Structure 1
Amino acid sequence: METILIAFLIFGVLVVFHEFGHFSVAKLVGIKVHEFSIGMGKPRIFKFKKGETEYSIRPLPIGGYVKMEGEDEASTDERSFNNKPLWARMLVIVAGPFMNFIFAILLFSMMFYMIGFPTNDTTIGDIIPNYPAQMAGIKAGDKILSIDGKEMNSWKQIVETIHSKKDQKINIKILRDGKEKSFSIKPLLNKETNQVMIGISPTIKKSFAKSISMGFDRMTFVIKSMLAFFMKPSMKDVVGPVGIIHIVGQAAKTNIYSVLWIVGFISVNLGIVNLLPIPALDGGRLVFLIIEGLRGKPLDPEKEGFIHLTGFVLLMSLMVFMIFKDVERFKLFQHIFDLF
């Protein structure tokens, strides 16, 4: 039950960011917005009205929407969606997925900032319990001066030197509280990584600028991975809403970094999927706007609305199919029975 609540909360946050993109740009270009809704279905759990816009929360946390004047129907209102310039409507449509990418960058950046970045300084940041360094008496904060008489000028040099000392005792000279101390240590061979270790790690430094840069890099990495998947799609790698809840639950059992990574990954996926040229999705609407630009006149709003409605029904059918596939794949019926 806790996993389901966490997943619903995450879906809600993702939807808020996505729909806020549409909403904010619609307001910016002067489109009349009737409703800003988080969730789908009826009845509305909560609602209030401010100005001309009604804000609501609906029971199904699988989406949300911004209801704009003239988006799916003909309207003579000068502030309707269809009466705005083509560039303004395109901006409104693209703003939703764009906010998903921005949100992913924020999450990845937060993850990197919390983890921090290892420095190349020779000061020990942490000691691994029950490893040779701790057993010999070395402590966090000690500055390594030399190994076997060779001066150490960087953490990279320390690592390379220790890795070269397989089955050999090493003499490490450190500086602690202004005093030099020497220790004789026999490194340990890590059988999993096949690396020689003594159980020390470098000093960690937090950098806001580097975290943002790494967050952007990670976001582009996920986008490239998604595009590569679309080149060679496989149903075994696709999960639906229930599968996502299961994955989020598994991440929540580990640490906050895993949760931030998963939510950022889902946010990028949501942004890319919404840009696919499928009716009812932002990409489908964008295609109709491009066709309008090429034709020099808009399509019939009623016909376009029907096409998007058909696309929505097909998407809901696909979602139901994926739910059953997820239940079968993750054996979730057994998990549900276990709750009771």
Structure 2
Amino acid sequence: MNLQELVGALSGAGLLWAALIIGAVMILHEFAHYWAARAQGVQVTAFSIGWGPVLLRRTWRGTDWRVSLLPIGAYVQIDGMAPDPGEDEPPQRGYTLLPAWGKIAILLAGPLANLLLALLLLTAVNTGQGLTDVRTDRAVVGQVIAGSAAERAGVRTGDVIVRLDGQPLPNSYRVDNEDRPGYLKVRDTLSSDGRHTLTVRRGAAERTIAFQWVAFRDGARQTFGIRYGPQQTTRAVTLPQAFTEAGRTVISAVPAVLDAFARLFRSFFTLDLATDGGVVGPVGTVQVVGEAARLGPWVLVGIAAAINLSVGFFNLLPIPGLDGGRILLILVGVLRGRPLSARQEGGITLAGFAFVMLLTVFVVLRDLTRFF
């Protein structure tokens, strides 16, 4: 891919939808911090959509609401969280005077808001699209290879295979001629020469297809010539069922997300730009969102849920500079009987922020490596 193709891939609907989704995710995250602070009587001096020079501002309820030049997320300034200009220690007011649990509540509010929104978006997807049931004892033929034994036997695309030689299909599926989980490799089952049968459901009726099979011909192992995957059916669900299934999805995502972050860190520390760690940066996000927008609104909603999950879980990581890192420093202060000084916390947070920035640059470089 050349530079012109890269620019084309990252422009248009994908860029617009990515900007809207990421902007909404970050605004929600910061607004949750704002709400948690105000709920405890702590003043929020500023709430900005975007970073950099301020374009528009209005003061309301003691907060300077801003729209800034660079449309990259949002931020809040909570009274007492950081030292005043020219001071080394935070002022003894607002956030500083809160107990540890109150500070943690403010920090947790942002990631939890993203996880809650992901839960609601997944509930909407489940309600709108229904739930998909997968039967691993049946398989739908997605393709019949021209000139293959399957074509000569009369197998058709769309046939649902229910039995092989009168026996239920194995529950371990792999696709014919490929090695990826989720499909059945027919040639592994058809190891013996002679007459075999497939029982298929075509429309409302079942029929048995008989064929002669030779496992090896001219010294080469033969393939039956079909590609197929597990039978999937969609069923409508009630709102409580959709919500429950969304909750299961969020919970089951935890180990997968943590594993993806672990692989990302491993690639970062080894400077491995080639290995796909399952985490994409801004460039990859625009590409994924653009593809989702072409596939339909529910796919786009699902991607928005995934982005919220990623942002929520990432901010909970115990890295200084992130919400999880700040929570870790508060807990360290509780264990040692006194909080860290502003100088100590500032130095640790600055180091963590630098690490996150380097990690972001690494992810962008890896995204570009995928393109080129």
Regarding TM over 0.5, the answer is yes
Aligned to 1:138: none
Shift, 1:311, TM fit: 2.5
Query: For 1:308 and 1:118, how far apart are their aligned partners in 2?
Result: 44
Q: In 1, are the aligned partners of 2:126 and 2:242 still within 8 Å (CA)?
A: yes
Aligned to 2:306: 265
| Structure number with higher helix proportion | 1
Shift, 1:57, TM fit: 2.7
Q: Taking structure 1 as reference, are residues 166 and 230 closer, same or farther at Cα in structure 2, changes over 3 Å only?
A: same
Query: For 2:18 and 2:102, how far apart are their aligned partners in 1?
Result: 34
Partner residue of 2:325 out of 276, 284, 288: 284
The equivalences for 1:81-230 within 5 A come to 81-117=95-131, 166=199, 191-193=226-228, 204-230=235-261
Q: What is the CA deviation profile of residues 180-234 of structure 1, one whole-angstrom value per residue up to 9, with x for unaligned ones?
A: xxxxx57699954378x9xx977x5341111111111111121121123345556
The percent identity for this pair of structures is 29
Q: In 1, are the aligned partners of 2:316 and 2:325 still within 8 Å (CA)?
A: yes
SS across alignment from 2:228: coil
RMSD: 3.0
Shift, 1:312, TM fit: 2.1
Aligned to 1:136: none
Unaligned runs of 5+ in 1: 120-163, 173-184, 332-340
Q: What is the CA deviation profile of residues 95-153 of structure 1, one whole-angstrom value per residue up to 9, with x for unaligned ones?
A: 1111111011011111000012489xxxxxxxxxxxxxxxxxxxxxxxxxxxxxxxxxx
Query: For 2:208 and 2:25, how far apart are their aligned partners in 1?
Result: 46
Query: For 2:340 and 2:200, how far apart are their aligned partners in 1?
Result: 77
Q: In 2, are the aligned partners of 1:25 and 1:92 still within 8 Å (CA)?
A: yes
TM-score (norm 1): 0.70
| Structure number with higher strand proportion | 2
Shift, 1:263, TM fit: 1.6
* Dislocated runs of 4+, deviation >6 Å: 167-170, 186-190
Shift, 1:314, TM fit: 3.2
Aligned to 1:336: none
Q: What is the CA deviation profile of residues 23-72 of structure 1, one whole-angstrom value per residue up to 9, with x for unaligned ones?
A: 111111111111122322x1123322202111223333433222111212
Q: In 1, are the aligned partners of 2:27 and 2:73 still within 8 Å (CA)?
A: no
The number of equivalent residue pairs is 268
Query: For 2:339 and 2:359, how far apart are their aligned partners in 1?
Result: 30
Partner residue of 1:11 out of 22, 35, 46: 22
Query: For 1:250 and 1:17, how far apart are their aligned partners in 2?
Result: 24
TM-score (norm 2): 0.64
Query: For 2:337 and 2:368, how far apart are their aligned partners in 1?
Result: 48
SS across alignment from 1:59: strand
The one-letter code sitting in structure 1 at the alignment partner of 2:56 is F
Aligned to 2:350: 309
Shift, 1:273, TM fit: 1.0
Q: In 2, are the aligned partners of 1:243 and 1:330 still within 8 Å (CA)?
A: no
Query: For 2:114 and 2:77, how far apart are their aligned partners in 1?
Result: 19
The one-letter code sitting in structure 2 at the alignment partner of 1:229 is A
Shift, 1:327, TM fit: 2.0
Q: Taking structure 1 as reference, are residues 229 and 34 closer, same or farther at Cα in structure 2, changes over 3 Å only?
A: same
The equivalences for 1:312-327 within 5 A come to 312-327=353-368
Unaligned runs of 5+ in 2: 1-11, 84-88, 134-196, 210-224, 268-275
